[in-house]
Amino acid sequence: MRLDRIYVSTDGVPELDAGYTYVMPKNILKRFITIGDLRTQVAGMLYGRSSPDDKDVKEIVCCVLVPQTGTHQSVSLPHLLPTHEYLDDLEPLGWMHTQPRELPYLAPEDVTMHAKIIQRQGSIGGGDGNNDGSPTNVLWDPDAAMVLTCSFTPASCTLAAWKPTAEGLEWGQSNNTRVGEPDPPGFSKALFEKQSLLLSDRLQGFFMVPDGGRSWNYNFRGIEHQASMRYGVELGNPLEFYDELHRPNHFLNFGEETGGNDSDDRLDIEDWLQ
């Protein structure tokens, strides 16, 4: 039902000659909605290229599901950005995430996370890698990288693209308030701008997931997820949020609870038959 009712929020989008227009393939969007959870945020890194017909149009062609944990207010990703030969010729276009309700603004947690990603990779203030010495792909361009929110509205989904301003990036880098803290000091709607977003049936995209059959969803084993963790990615379709690969302990516990003495089971059946 949600896949049949996808809306794009256009209130407050600037004139077409201001900023970029982003094109999202519907096949990526629908799969991303399908694997999500109604309460826990799920995020993916976006990569694409400029349209051959218009350099101000950015076409999203890849969504990378990196190892992550989330809550209803935020999502936690590794500091290391994904690297792969399939991404070498693509431009980082920011990231997207689901959220359980629609907001008329970009959440402070999103502004902060976006700004700190750019800060860590050295796009602001120079640098050619992550602060921890890990390699990066092409550095994020603050003018092109955006945040795409996918809100689970009643029986539908509402999309909006936001780009933090230079002031927003500066605020986000210095913001140390706790997640969910109301009215963080200095936060305002001047820290971001809504961007133009289009959906396309013609443009087809692909997913990348952690390599080696590893899970992207660490919500059921969060102690294993670390901001400094390293990982590789490979071409593949992401599994749904509650897939058994993401929660092996649940199935092990279930097996232990239901396990028993087979001979006792046979005796019970024989008594019932008699």
- State the distance between the two ends of the chain, measured CA to CA, in whole angstroms: 51
CATH number at residue 44: 3.40.140.10
Given a cut of 60, whether residue 231 has pLDDT beyond it is yes
11 burial level (CB within 10 Å; 0-12, 13-18, 19+): exposed
**Among 26-40, 198-212, 241-255, whose mean pLDDT is lowest?**
241-255
Largest CA distance in the chain: 83
* Domain annotation covers residue 272: no
* Domain annotation covers residue 67: yes
* Domain annotation covers residue 36: yes
pLDDT in tens, 6-55: 999 988 887 655 689 999 999 999 999 999 999 999 999 999 999 999 99
Given a cut of 80, whether residue 131 has pLDDT beyond it is no
Q: From CA 129, how far away is CA 135, in angstroms rounded? A: 6
* Domain annotation covers residue 266: no
**Residue 268 pLDDT level (bands cut at 50, 70, 90):** low
269 burial level (CB within 10 Å; 0-12, 13-18, 19+): exposed
* 95 in Cβ contact with 62 (< 8 Å): no
**pLDDT of amino acid 104:** 94
> How many structural domains is the chain composed of?
1
Structural tokens at position 103: 């907001």
Considering only residues 243 and 138, tell me which one the structure prediction assigns the higher pLDDT: 243
Host domain of residue 111: 2-243
**pLDDT of amino acid 19:** 83
Residue 12: left if φ>0, alpha if ψ -120 to 50, beta else—which one? Answer: left
- State the average pLDDT over residues 46-75: 96
Q: At what angle do helices 108-121 and 166-174 cross, to 10 degrees?
A: 90
130 burial level (CB within 10 Å; 0-12, 13-18, 19+): middle
* Domain annotation covers residue 254: no
* Domain annotation covers residue 63: yes
Q: From CA 192, how far away is CA 198, in angstroms rounded? A: 19
Q: From CA 202, how far away is CA 26, in angstroms rounded? A: 9
pTM summary value: 0.86
* Domain annotation covers residue 261: no
* Domain annotation covers residue 269: no
* 136 in Cβ contact with 83 (< 8 Å): yes
